[in-house]
Structure 1
């Protein structure tokens, strides 16, 4: 399926796109349109075709090709009831669904743009983040609608015998849901950062990439040692010839032979020591990830809940039977655990350190 985002409306407020062939799907965002981040102009909706449109049609109607994201269902009936409990205006059928799809479409276009910028080995992680965004946003908006039905507005029900405590509980639930919404929207920033930083253990190819990094570090270590040996040769001409053989250009050879502020030439000992420490660190990360991959640890029960080793999310999760008290929450945060409403758990990344922290916070119940 080929999707094209529309940028034009005719005088009647109808999206403009080629009359033929007839599109398989037409999605209209609304009269005001929506501006997607990083892309000029407004997009009023989209059309989808089974076959790709000719380039001339795309140009003539100023269509913008884009990806076709996956959507999750939005509870329109609950959204309508929530609206009617807050407003005298009629609910516009489908408005909650389009509110959701606009955000997902925006995220999918950002993800598509990011994938064009980075190495293909990162594409799977971008897709996973986008899928998580789409699923969690649907859950959050549906929760927003359910919260909206908990208590009517005072303008709707009137001030007499207004359920103040019920309204307070609704406001508290709404605040929690808004915090989760902000966390979900933060996934867009994570999408934009994929492939631009270090190697995360979350990445499916983390072990392979770490092995490549280790290989480069080891080669660089050998190169520095060989260069220092060449510089220490009594015959400078032979030493320079050796450096040239190692791949150094004349200006690089001159830079290596120039004494630093301590009178040292070549690569200083601290640079070899630091690189060796990085080699050791990367080797340990590879060993740790391989161990987790080959024999994932199992969860356990603790007093008041249980620990889940979620390999799919790459998280160790603490699930409590009841909300933990303030001291326990403080201890969880101090040990790197964060509350994930979508998972109903306190969690951190699934690493050996994460498992150790979980045992400290929630020691297994002795059988």
Structure 2
């Protein structure tokens, strides 16, 4: 994590023209760093819950937040120091137009702050959507999801069968008696409100679980097809190597030397991005990616 510089002198001037209180040197930096520390804690918490595949993205978002928040603080203090408060300087010859400009800038800065704060929402959302097939851990994650859904489906069917036979959950294997009694009471209350529900897990809930399992299985099948479609081999060319990295699900171009500006631009135009970690230009592993790479590098 990197902190960016807060201009303490500007922060002091902003305080002096707007407040009768003395400015404590370093307080602006402390406030900024406390906000960044809070964002860093959020990133660490998110990392503990999601695949390592997304960790670099989280680090990049944290750095963006830290940098943009520092820019905001410095811009805010510059604007606040541009015109004094009428309570400090008095009403005589008060620069009204200057204060109007300052107020307008305050509004635009507030909009910028809301954009910066939205980065925290982005951090919270990373890794919470559908599993990215480019994630090297995708197969393990999807397999775990499928196993959990299948277990939920089997348990729901078993509870339905047990209820149909005994008209109670008490005695169901693995279910504490206190929990079973509460489930009995909850289901009885539900049947009073919805008499048409005849079993704990209605057909639509079982159908939903089956559909979810089917979707996950389809994604696993897609991943298997993707990994089998392109062998994990390298292709040499005059200035480097093209690597079909099925583990990372990336087509990687590793140059012996820095490619020309035209080549770099062509790679960007075709969706390739530079990966400092892998020291390669890469994009998701597909037949189109291989075709584009050969075209850009003039490989027949």
- Give TM-score, length-normalised by structure 1: 0.40
Q: Which has the higher contact order (CA 8 A, sep 6+)?
A: 2
Higher helix share: 2
